Amino acid sequence: MSLTIGLTYDLRNDYLSRGYPEEVIAEFDSVATIDALESAIRSNGYRTERVGNARALCARLVAGERWDLVFNIAEGLRGRSREAQAPCLLELYEIPYTFSDPLVCAVTLDKAVAKRLAQSMGERTPAFQVVRQEQDIEKINLPYPVFAKPLAEGSGKGVNRLSKVENQEGLKTVCKMLLERFAQPILVEEYLPGREFTVGILGNGAEARAIGAMEIVVHQAENAEVYSYEAKEKCESLVTYADFREEGLGKEVEELALRVYGILECADAARVDVRCDREGRPSFMEINPLPGLHPTHSDLPMIATRAGMSYEQLIGRIIQNALKRWRVQ
């Protein structure tokens, strides 16, 4: 008998109908993504059942519903541990799930914590400081230009042409705006002017492998150096995703991403962002342990496709990684 896989996710339309603005819910999934994901899971021979977000998961668990495995891409709405909410509930009820555990989801969403852990193991990342309140802006001691963004957001939220800051006055303006708008600390880091890449990782432990990398080139003139929220939302017209198979640098980028994936103890799959400094040396920027899974719009599926792996094969590999890790037959 085939296994039944539940799907946990945050649907954009659910939050739009409740009055949330587009940028607040930028990380959430479209109906098209959930449709494609469910179809891919079924094509691998599993039954599926849509569960919904963490609140829906709560209600259904309390009602006694169970699944053999949950394919979890629920991002959560509030707090730097929001991505840990669904995995926490599933662990409480002893239900296996895909992707990383609550600790990893919380640690990686806080960009400063993730960077400190990577640094502690000798990995290169831009110099950074955290602004938690307005008084902290005066304490920033980094060479300009710097880059400022919310500490615990994804999908380019809070990132735009103002994020690259040239002086202290500009930093005050941006940090005050971000503190008020996102009600969370601000990561201020050394600006790296080099090339930008994203790397797809599949597997667990010693079996984890980089399946490929893409170079990200933003070609809108006024935002040429910033992979912003706008650029991600309109990536078809504003961004070129270039194949990246250069000898030397390509290996460095993929090996850095794979090491960070291991250091942070991610599971099943993830996507790692890397950028080069003035000397062309790759640095770890951030990691996404719940990567977007739209078959043609999201980075990990695009990387897999370029590596000769179909969307159905990618989803099947993620499920198999999770089943093996949880020892589900």
pLDDT digits (tens, 9 = 90+) for 175-217: 999 999 999 999 999 999 999 999 999 999 999 999 999 999 9
Domains and CATH numbers, the chain: 4-99 (3.40.50.20), 108-123+193-326 (3.30.470.20), 128-190 (3.30.1490.20)
What number of H helices and E strands is found in the chain? Answer: 12, 12
CA angle at residue 31 from 28 to 32, to 5 degrees? Answer: 110
Q: Has residue 233 got a pLDDT over 70?
A: no
pLDDT reported for residue 228: 60
pLDDT reported for residue 214: 96
pLDDT reported for residue 317: 98
pLDDT band at 230; cut points 50, 70, 90: low
Q: Indicate the average pLDDT of the chain.
A: 94
Cβ pair 260, 124 in contact under 8 A? no
pLDDT reported for residue 120: 98
Cβ pair 289, 231 in contact under 8 A? no
Cβ-count burial 26-56 (b if 16+ within 10 Å, e if not): bbbbeeebbebbbebbeebebebeebbbbeb
Cβ pair 95, 88 in contact under 8 A? no
Q: Has residue 221 got a pLDDT over 70?
A: no
pLDDT reported for residue 246: 82
**Rounded to 5 degrees, what are φ and ψ at 73?**
-130, 25
pLDDT band at 224; cut points 50, 70, 90: low
Residues in the chain: 329
Question: pLDDT tens, 16-50?
Answer: 999 998 888 889 999 999 999 999 999 999 999 99
Residues facing residue 272 across a β-bridge: 199, 287
Cβ pair 137, 172 in contact under 8 A? yes
Which among 58, 59, 85 is positioned nearest to 72, based on CA atoms?
85
pLDDT reported for residue 11: 96
Q: Tell me how far apart the alpha carbons of residues 5 and 249 are, in angstroms, rounded to a whole number.
A: 39
E strands along the chain, which residues? 4-8, 47-52, 69-72, 128-131, 146-150, 164-165, 186-190, 196-202, 209-218, 239-243, 269-276, 282-288
pLDDT band at 238; cut points 50, 70, 90: confident
Q: Has residue 222 got a pLDDT over 60?
A: no
- Which two structure tokens, joined as six digits, stand for 154? 């994804």
Close Cβ partners of 254 (under 8 Å, ≥ 6 residues apart):
199, 210, 212, 213
pLDDT reported for residue 223: 52
Close Cβ partners of 212 (under 8 Å, ≥ 6 residues apart):
199, 200, 244, 254, 303, 304, 306, 307
pTM of the model: 0.93
Question: pLDDT tens, 138-184?
Answer: 999 999 999 999 999 987 899 988 999 999 999 999 999 999 999 99
Among left, alpha and beta (phi > 0; psi -120 to 50; other), residue 63 is: alpha
